[in-house]
Amino acid sequence: MKYNQQTLNKIEKILDEGEYVVRYERGTFQSGYCILEAKKVVVLNKFLNVEGRINTLVDLIPQLNINFDLLTHDSQKLFDELKKKATALALEASEKENELKEGAEASAAEIKEEEADKKND
């Protein structure tokens, strides 16, 4: 995916067709955005550059309740692509979390063995 204004426009079009309003405002956004789900408004930090806006919207879109049938064919393809990317990233994060957990459990077991060995000496 290219990080340019055209890509941003395509992503914003998905939100527009899904009946969401995208606004760029000043504010204290810790995550760079705010979602007003009841009003279908997405507010992004206006100081984000194009790449930051794209990344933020890519992260947001899978969380939103967008009616797939309202989207044009091109928007449906991009929407599917973004959903698949989000699923793959979530799966990857879950696998890394499991690896870290297993590593921590193994380290804890080793420490217990070392302590037990010290007590036996």
What integer pLDDT is reported at residue 100 of this predicted model? 78
What does pTM read for this prediction? Answer: 0.72
47 sits in which H/E element: none
What integer pLDDT is reported at residue 107 of this predicted model? 76
Q: How far apart, in Å, are the Cα atoms of 81 and each of 5, 108, 119?
A: 18, 41, 57
* Interaxial angle between packed helices 73-120 and 5-17, expressed in degrees from 0 to 180 and rounded to the nearest 10: 100
For residues 76 and 121, give the distance between their C-alpha atoms in angstroms, rounded to a whole number: 68
For residues 88 and 33, give the distance between their C-alpha atoms in angstroms, rounded to a whole number: 22
| 4-40 pLDDT tens trace | 999 999 999 999 999 999 999 887 776 777 787 788 9
For residues 51 and 69, give the distance between their C-alpha atoms in angstroms, rounded to a whole number: 28
Using the predicted structure, report yes or no on whether residue 121 has a pLDDT greater than 70: no
What integer pLDDT is reported at residue 16 of this predicted model? 96
Ranges 21-30, 64-73, 109-118: which has the least confidence: 109-118
